[in-house]
């Protein structure tokens, strides 16, 4: 696993729910058939209304046209990110879209656990409100050893809450891989 995660920011607001992350009408695709699974990336964040996305004039979509991956690799969210239903499709869709990490003020517990357990995303918690100071399009760098976020576009640095006990699971690539590598299964 990378110790430095680099990516372009996509900034969202508070209470982004799982139906906004991947709307129910797009849950028809197989997660085990790669030609269908990539559709989850294509429709990731398609349920977020532009006026709630924190985007300038709502003119920067997460996915361009008929693409399957986004150019945005790090999501900056507000409070209660991933609230709503318990579907594991939400962090999976973001992963398929090319997202490596999410930094939010807080998470819905099931979204957080699905992100970690499935090995889909690195879910960091911020120590301050970041979706007011970071803009969509900013170049970011997360140092996982120092628990720091650097905004390379604005030359600022922000502390992140340590990942704690979930770090070994994230480094292993998910809960089942962690269990295999540590001899649990």
pLDDT per position in the chain (185 positions), as tens? 679 999 999 999 999 999 999 999 999 999 999 999 999 999 999 999 876 655 443 557 899 989 999 999 999 999 999 999 878 999 999 999 999 999 999 999 999 999 999 999 999 999 999 999 999 999 999 999 999 999 999 999 999 999 999 999 999 999 999 999 999 98
- Residue that has been written with the tokens 């693409």 in this structure: 67
- Residue that has been written with the tokens 């790090």 in this structure: 74
Question: Which stretch of DSSP H or E encloses residue 58?
Answer: none
pLDDT of residue 167: 95
Range of the domain at 108: 4-181
Dihedral sign (CA 101, 106, 108, 109): positive
- Residue that has been written with the tokens 């998470």 in this structure: 107
Look up the CATH number of the domain holding residue 81: 3.20.19.10
Domain count, the chain: 1
Residues 70 and 98: beta-carbon distance below 8 Å = yes
């Amino acid at each position: 696993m990378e110790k430095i995660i680099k990516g372009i920011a996509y900034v969202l607001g508070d209470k982004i729910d799982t139906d906004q992350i991947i709307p129910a009408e797009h849950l028809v695709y197989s997660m085990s058939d790669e030609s269908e699974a990539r559709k989850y990336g294509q429709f990731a964040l398609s349920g977020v209304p532009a006026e709630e996305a924190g985007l300038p004039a709502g003119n920067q979509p997460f996915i361009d046209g008929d693409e399957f991956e986004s150019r945005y690799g790090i999501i900056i969210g507000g409070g209660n990110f991933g609230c709503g239903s318990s579907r594991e499709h939400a962090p999976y869709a973001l992963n398929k879209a090319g997202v490596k990490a999410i930094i939010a003020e807080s998470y819905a517990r099931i979204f957080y656990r699905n992100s970690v357990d499935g090995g889909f995303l690195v879910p960091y918690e911020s120590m301050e409100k970041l979706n007011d100071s970071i803009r969509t399009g900013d170049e970011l760098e997360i140092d996982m050893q120092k628990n720091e976020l650097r905004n390379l576009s604005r030359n600022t640095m922000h502390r992140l809450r340590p990942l704690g006990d979930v770090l070994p699971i994230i480094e292993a690539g998910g809960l089942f891989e962690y269990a295999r590598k540590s001899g649990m299964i």
